[in-house]
Amino acid sequence: MEYRKNIRAERTRERLRTAAHRLFLKQGYQATSIDAILVEAGISSKETLYRYYASKEALFIDVLSHLTMEQPGFSVKLAALPTLDDLQSLRQALLQLSHEILSMMYQPGYFPLVRMIIAESPRFPQLGTLFFSTVTQRGLNIITSLLQAARAQQVIAEVDFDAVSRMLLGGLLSYAISGLISAEEQTQPPPLERAEALIEVIMCALTP
């Protein structure tokens, strides 16, 4: 009984999230109303939406999270990263993480949503703040945690972990940024060897 209830709840949440994502891309964040999301999702009651999301902002955050750090399988892949007991294991962990981040950036629906955020941020600055806290900051935290764990094992030198995390995430983004300005949506991540080259440069700075 409880299992079926949970399944129904997740399906309803997915309908709302999918409908909101579709409308955010089509109309923009500000122009998309709660009523429009309900119609798009085929749900008649506002109470149903508010049972899962306290506001349109909360629904937007869930759309962002589902596309990025909370997408199905991501936590499992994080848990499967190598144990950080030497430089080689750190290199492999950063490479695997970089591959997952690039794949995340190039999934359908990610770049169009980022374009929407950039376009609407001048009128609604909170969108940029939400994106940073939901996506960028969480990505930086994951990288920083790996570096701190490696430092705790005395695998790497004492460096500015925030600066290194930003270098890696920013470097990966530079390979993917063409998706924001290209007329045709790119569907494949950049060659993994580019991430390898970036990580090799960073490893030089981390080596004691």
- 17, 79: one domain: no
Q: Are 26 and 96 found together in one domain?
A: no
Residues 82 and 26 in one domain: no
Q: Is 62 part of any domain?
A: no
Residue 172 to residue 106: CA distance in whole angstroms: 11
Query: pLDDT band for position 60 (50/70/90)?
Result: very high
The answer to whether residue 181 is domain-embedded is yes
pTM exceeds cut of 0.95: no
97 by Cβ neighbours in 10 Å (0-12 / 13-18 / 19+) ranks as: buried
- Segment 86-139, tens digit of pLDDT: 999 999 999 999 988 888 887 777 888 888 888 888 888 888 888 888 888 989
Three-state SS string over the chain comes to: CHHHHHHHHHHHHHHHHHHHHHHHHHHCCCCCCHHHHHHHHCCCCHHHHHHHCCCHHHHHHHHHHHHCCCCCCHHHHHHCCCCCCCHHHHHHHHHHHHHHHHHHHCCCCHHHHHHHHHHHCCCCCHHHHHHHHHHHHHHHHHHHHHHHHHHHCCCCCCCCHHHHHHHHHHHHHHHHCHHHHCCCCCCCCCCHHHHHHHHHHHHHHHCC
Q: Is residue 35 part of a domain?
A: yes
- Whether residue 50 lies inside any domain: the answer is yes
Query: What SS3 string covers 35-62?
Result: HHHHHHHCCCCHHHHHHHCCCHHHHHHH
| Together in a domain, 46 and 129 | no
The tokens for 79 are 């848990």
Kindly indicate the confidence band of residue 179, based on its pLDDT and cuts at 50, 70 and 90: low
CATH code: domain of residue 94: 1.10.357.10
Structurally, how many domains does the chain consist of? Answer: 2
| 51 and 78 belong to one structural domain | no
Region 157-184 average pLDDT: 81
> Does residue 32 register a pLDDT over 70?
yes
Same domain for 30 and 89, yes or no, is: no
The mean pLDDT of 188-200, rounded to a whole number, is: 77
DSSP assignment, residue 136?
A: I
What band does 16 get if pLDDT is binned at 50, 70 and 90? very high
How high does pLDDT run on average in the chain?
86
Q: Note down the domain range covering 183.
A: 68-206
Is residue 1 pLDDT above 80, yes or no? Answer: no
Structure confidence by residue, pLDDT tens digits, 37-57: 999 999 988 999 999 999 999
Q: Is residue 195 part of a domain?
A: yes
Residue 63 lies in a domain: no
Q: Is residue 61 assigned to a domain? A: no
pLDDT at 141 over 90: yes
What's the first-to-final CA gap in the chain, in angstroms? 57
182 has a pLDDT exceeding 60: no
The CB density around residue 33, as the number of other CB atoms within 10 Å, is 12
Percent of the chain with pLDDT over 70: 91
Are 101 and 188 in the same domain?
yes
pLDDT value of position 181: 60
116 and 42 in a common domain: no
Tell me whether residue 172 is in a domain: yes
Query: Which comes out higher in pLDDT, residue 10 or 36?
Result: 36
| Whether residue 35 sits in one domain with residue 76 | no
* 199 in the same domain as 113: yes
Residue 46: CATH number of its domain: 1.10.10.60
Average pLDDT in the 165-174 region? Answer: 91
**Residues 117 and 144 reside in one and the same domain:** yes
Check whether residue 141 and residue 85 sit in a common domain.
yes
**pLDDT for the residue 65:** 86
Residue 68 pLDDT: 80
